C-alpha cells in the first residue's frame, strides 16, 4: 500500500507535508473527527489519486489561527482526481474515471440534499448541518491536499469528466469546479446578476475573481472589483473588470465615477470575516465593513450574494462579540432598502456540471482569470506563505506531477 503525503496544520502560521496514512472506507479517529463519526463504514465511497488540489482562502483562515481548527488537521477541500478503487456499493462511478469533487460532502438521501441544498446535508456531520473535507467543525472528513483521498457517497457526489484527454488539457480550469468557480457563480446568481447588470464584487482574491468571471458569464454589463492589494486589482483588470481601490476611501465615489451613479444592481461579498476597513482604516480589521458597504452601494430592491466566509468561532477576533460571529451590521439599512441576502456555503452540485460544460466548450477561462499557479505538493508551505502575503494567484497543488 503506497504512502500518502498530505498538508497538515501544525499551529498558527504553520503547515507541514507529512505522511498521514493511506485512506480507507471507514472514518478513523483523529484531529477534528467528531466522535460520533468514528467507525462509520463507507462502502459507497471511492479512493482517488489526487490530480489537483487547491489552496483556498478558507484554508488560510484556519492556518492563521482564526478558527477553532485543531492541530494535526489534514487540510484541503478542493479536489480533482482519478478513481483508483471503488467500494462495494458504488454502481456508476468506475475505476479510471476523472472526476471533480464538490467541497460539500452530501449523502443524497436527506431532505436538504433532495431539495438541492447540498451545502447543508443533514447526515454527514453529527454536530450540525453541512460538511467538508479537511475543514474545522465539519465532521472530521480527511482533507484532500494529499496524494490520495477517500470520497463518500461517490455515485452522488462525483462529477465525471466526459473525456479523459480533453479533461487533462483543461485540468487547471476544471480544478476550479470543486469550490471557487461554483462559489463565485452562486454569489452572482443569488445577487440577481443577469444581462445588463451592474455588479460590485468586494474582494479580488480567487473567489472574488471567480465571481467577476461568473458575472460576465451571466451577462453583466459592468463588473467592478474592490480590493486594497494592487496586484490583485491588476489581475481583475486583466480580464475586463473595472477596479476600485478601497485604500482610497468609500467605494461609493469610485462607483459613481465609473457608472455615473453611486449604486449597483447587485453586490457580492467575497471577503468574509477578516475584512479590513476603507480609506484610513484599510489596514485595520473591520469585520462588518464589507457587509455594510454592499448594503450601502446596492440599489433599493437589489440583492446581495454573500459567499465570503463568516464563522461562529474566531479566537483571533478584535472584540468579544466578533469572536462568536456577532458583527455590527446595519440591518436597518438593508431592511429599509428591501434588500435580499443569501449566505452560506455554495451548493456546488447545483452549478458544477453547467460550469464544466462552459469550460469544455471554451466559453470561459477561469484558470487564467484567477491566475492559477501549479506547484508540487512539497511546496505547499511556501504556497501558503505567499498566499497569506497577498499573492495574486490561485495555488494548485500537483501531488503526482500530472499537470502540464
* 403 within a domain of the structure (yes/no): no
- pLDDT at position 320 is 85
pLDDT of residue 364: 98
- Domain end position, chosen among 343, 360, 390: 343
Question: What Å distances lie between residue 267 and 162, 211, 235, 274, CA to CA?
Answer: 34, 10, 19, 18
* pLDDT tens per residue across span 82-138: 999 999 999 999 999 999 999 999 999 999 999 999 999 999 999 999 999 999 999
pLDDT per residue over 257-304, tens digit each?
999 999 999 999 999 988 888 988 888 888 899 999 999 999 999 999
Q: Are 348 and 102 in contact (CB under 8 A)?
A: yes
Mean pLDDT of 400-404: 95
Do 376 and 403 contact (CB within 8 A), yes or no?
no
Whether the model clears a pTM of 0.85, i.e. scores above it, the answer is yes
Is there a single domain that holds both residue 66 and residue 21?
yes
CATH number of the domain at 148, please. 3.90.180.10
| CB-CB contact of 107 with 96 (8 Å) | no
C-alpha cell at 249: 476611501
The mean predicted confidence, pLDDT, of the chain is 96
Do 174 and 193 lie in one domain? The reply is no
What pLDDT score was predicted for residue 189?
Answer: 98
Q: What is the pLDDT of residue 281?
A: 85
| Separation of alpha carbons 83 and 272, rounded Å | 34
Same domain, 113 and 220: no
pLDDT of 315:
87
Instruction: Note whether 169 and 223 are same-domain residues.
Output: no
Q: Looking at the structure, tell me whether residues 332 and 234 fall in a common domain.
A: yes
The CATH number of the domain holding residue 329 is 3.40.50.720
Closest among 12, 88, 102 to 46, alpha carbons compared:
88
Whether 306 and 200 map to the same domain: the answer is yes
pLDDT score at 300: 98
What is residue 91's predicted lDDT score, i.e. its pLDDT?
Answer: 98
- Model confidence at 232, in pLDDT bands (50, 70, 90)? very high
Q: What is the pLDDT of residue 404?
A: 86
Q: What is the pLDDT of residue 311?
A: 86
Report whether pLDDT(1) > 80.
no
pLDDT recorded at residue 2:
84
314-360 pLDDT, tens per residue?
888 878 888 888 889 999 999 999 999 999 999 999 999 999 999 99
Rounded to the nearest 10 degrees, what angle do helices 230-237 and 206-217 cross at? 20
Q: What is the CA radius of gyration of the chain?
A: 20
Same domain, 301 and 239: yes
pLDDT at 344: 94
Residue range of the domain that includes 355: 5-179+349-398
At 159, the pLDDT band (50, 70, 90 cuts) reads very high
Residues 175 and 185 in one domain: no
Judgement on whether residues 174 and 184 belong to the same structural domain of the protein: no
Asked whether residue 320 falls in the same domain as residue 243, the answer is yes
Distances (CA, A) of 23 to 94, 138, 148, 269, 288: 18, 18, 7, 36, 40
How many structural domains does the chain have? 2
Query: 184 pLDDT band (50/70/90 cuts)?
Result: very high
**Are 337 and 353 in the same domain?**
no
Amino acid at each position: 500500500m503506497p504512502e500518502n503525503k498530505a498538508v497538515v496544520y501544525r499551529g498558527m502560521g504553520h503547515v507541514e507535508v507529512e505522511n498521514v496514512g493511506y485512506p480507507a472506507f471507514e472514518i478513523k479517529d483523529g484531529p477534528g473527527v467528531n466522535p460520533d463519526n468514528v467507525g462509520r463504514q463507507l462502502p459507497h465511497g471511492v479512493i482517488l489519486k489526487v490530480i489537483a488540489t487547491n489552496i483556498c482562502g478558507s484554508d488560510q483562515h484556519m492556518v492563521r489561527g482564526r478558527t477553532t481548527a485543531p492541530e494535526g488537521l489534514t487540510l484541503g477541500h478542493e479536489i480533482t482526481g482519478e478513481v483508483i478503487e471503488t467500494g462495494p456499493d458504488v454502481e456508476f462511478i468506475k475505476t479510471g474515471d476523472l472526476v471533480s469533487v464538490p467541497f460539500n460532502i452530501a449523502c443524497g438521501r436527506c431532505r436538504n440534499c433532495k431539495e438541492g441544498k447540498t451545502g447543508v446535508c443533514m447526515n454527514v456531520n453529527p454536530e450540525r448541518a453541512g460538511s467538508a473535507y479537511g475543514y474545522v467543525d465539519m465532521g472530521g472528513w480527511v482533507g484532500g491536499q494529499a496524494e490520495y483521498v477517500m470520497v463518500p457517497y461517490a455515485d452522488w457526489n462525483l462529477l465525471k469528466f466526459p473525456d479523459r484527454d480533453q479533461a487533462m488539457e483543461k485540468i487547471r480550469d476544471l480544478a476550479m469546479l470543486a469550490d471557487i468557480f461554483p462559489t463565485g457563480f452562486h454569489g452572482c446568481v443569488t445577487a440577481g446578476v443577469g444581462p445588463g447588470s451592474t455588479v460590485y464584487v468586494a474582494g479580488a482574491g480567487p473567489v472574488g475573481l471567480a465571481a467577476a468571471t461568473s458575472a460576465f458569464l451571466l451577462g453583466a454589463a459592468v463588473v467592478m472589483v474592490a480590493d486594497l492589494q494592487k496586484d490583485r486589482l491588476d489581475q481583475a483588470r486583466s480580464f475586463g473588470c473595472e477596479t476600485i481601490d478601497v485604500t482610497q476611501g468609500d467605494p461609493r465615489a469610485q462607483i459613481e465615477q465609473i457608472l455615473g451613479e453611486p449604486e449597483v444592481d447587485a453586490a457580492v461579498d467575497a471577503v468574509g470575516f477578516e475584512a479590513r476597513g476603507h480609506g484610513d482604516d484599510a489596514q485595520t480589521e473591520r469585520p462588518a465593513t464589507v457587509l455594510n458597504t454592499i448594503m450601502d452601494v446596492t440599489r433599493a430592491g437589489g440583492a446581495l450574494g454573500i459567499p465570503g466566509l463568516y464563522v461562529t468561532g474566531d479566537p483571533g477576533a478584535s472584540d468579544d462579540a466578533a469572536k462568536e460571529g456577532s458583527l455590527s451590521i446595519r440591518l436597518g439599512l438593508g431592511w429599509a432598502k428591501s434588500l435580499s441576502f443569501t449566505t452560506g456555503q455554495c451548493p456546488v452540485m447545483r452549478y458544477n456540471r453547467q460550469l464544466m460544460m462552459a469550460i469544455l466548450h471554451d466559453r470561459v477561462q477561469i484558470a487564467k482569470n484567477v491566475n492559477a499557479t501549479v506547484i508540487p505538493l512539497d511546496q505547499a508551505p511556501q504556497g501558503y506563505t505567499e498566499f497569506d502575503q497577498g499573492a495574486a494567484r490561485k495555488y494548485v497543488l500537483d501531488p503526482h506531477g500530472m499537470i502540464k
